[in-house]
A and B are shown apart, each in its own frame.
Chain A
Amino acid sequence: MKRLRYSLLIFMFILLGCEETIILDIDQAPTRVVIEAVLTNRLKDQYVRVSRTADFYSTGTPEKVSNARVKVTSNDGEEFEYAQISAGLYIPKIPFEGEIGKTYTLSVTVDNIVYTSTDELLRVAPIDSLGYRPFQGFDPNQDTEEDVYELLLYFKEPRETKDYYLFKFYRNDSLVYNTPNDIYVTSDEALAESINGFPSPVTYSLSDTARLEMFSLSRYGYIYYTDLTNLLFSDGGLFGPVPANPRSNFNNGALGFFQVSAVTTSTYILKE
């Protein structure tokens, strides 16, 4: 909704005025380390990606860091060493599952600086069921005539804890998004106790296999992903929040986030 309001305002001004591409003449920032890490309670999810920032006008993927030392420790003394499997991508030498209730600390050493981050693996409410119904809204991205459907989510949201969720939608085993910069997070303040048929932001056709993954986030995770959404959809600060770098949970100035989550997943095949 926020994004719609800002795009409408920008659109109005574009009608009045004009746009052109310009070259920004700004001193580029010194490079910073970027760490993207996920740890869940599923066996194969654990990974850490380490890269650097690049100049604004550079092309290609920013430089990946290949000689980092990556390690995860839990609050009860377990240690997991990671090894690089491809440029900048590190996975545990021995696969492990995170456990709900434990706190994990990630430490990444790059060029003799140790970047650490800690987060707790919070439980996630299980998905009761999934359903579907014909698409109810107006989608400018929809350009085919075939019937489109939205997935419906049913689950009971625990009232006694403050919960934050991240959703990932798959259509026939590929991740799908409504627009390329979308991140689907919510806080339980926006949810009722019983979620009865919450519609998906992405659409499906008949005989598609839909899969939903629901991740628990800590409050820091929710803050990081909403900061990131504000930055990705920024209009320069005119009608929305001024763009700012998202608040990461790393020390020593590393960008990115260490996401520790419990996951629950459900699959649904849309039949006639």
Chain B
Amino acid sequence: MTGFVSYTLSKVTRTIPGVNQGLPFIANYDRRHAVNIAAIYELNPQWTFGTTFTYSTGRPITLPNGRYRYDIYNVDYVTSRNGYLLPDFHRLDLSATLNPKPKHADRKWQGQWVFSIYNVYNRKNPFTIYTRTKQDEDGNIIGNGTEKEARLIYLFPILPSVTYNFKF
């Protein structure tokens, strides 16, 4: 078995006049903690198994923590810049690689099968959050139009895949 484990601790803040009333705020790309693990295990010349795991602190975002009415608009009142962290990001991937013994010993090409699963436990890693008037799946407003809700957008769910390669 071979592999590696890494951990990174970092912090980035910015202070820009005119932004966030001139006060320091954490940068959009700040990731306080980051962990990366990879491992490969060769069972026999035909089968090799691998896994990767990644974890990082959630992305900073500016979200509403209040609301008010101006004219006909229901307006969000937002926190100071990047005052909220999205939930943490973590993901586990597994793979199995098969190098089958060639049927004829003098065959010139070598085939290979790779079976993998991306995001094995199907985590809904947040991509972003936005707010809108409370409504149902078809866009019909729920309630009297004054209520708001937060919507989470997440990208790739569990993705199994099969790949065939051959070398010649």
Q: Taking beta carbons and an 8 Å cutoff, which residues of A are in contact with B? A: 10, 13-14, 16-24, 26-29, 31-32, 34, 36, 51-62, 175, 180-181, 183, 228, 231-232, 234-238, 242-245, 255-257
Contacts and interface: CB of A to CB of B under 8 A. Distances in A.
Interface string B39-71: 000000000000000000000011111111111
Interface of A is mostly: loop
Given A228-B75, A231-B78, A22 B152 contact: yes
Contact of B67 (A14, A58, A181): A58
B62 A255 contact: no
12 contacts: A18-B154, A19-B151, A20-B151, A26-B79, A52-B68, A53-B77, A56-B64, A232-B73, A237-B28, A237-B62, A238-B127, A242-B81
A53 B73 contact: no
A267 B73 CA distance: 26
A257 B81 CA distance: 22
A180 B148 CA distance: 14
A29 B144 contact: no
A10 B66 CA distance: 24
Contacts of A53: 66-68, 77
A255 B64 CA distance: 15
Given A24-B63, A56-B64, A238-B128, A29 B77 contact: yes
B110 interface: no
Interface size on B, as a range, is 35 or more
B123 to A, nearest CB: 13
Contacts of A13: 127, 153, 155
B144 A60 contact: yes
Contacts of B61: 236-237
B146 A23 contact: no
Contact of B65 (A16, A26, A52, A62): A26
B67 A236 contact: no
B69 A51 contact: yes
Contacts of A20: 124, 151-152, 154
A228 B73 contact: yes
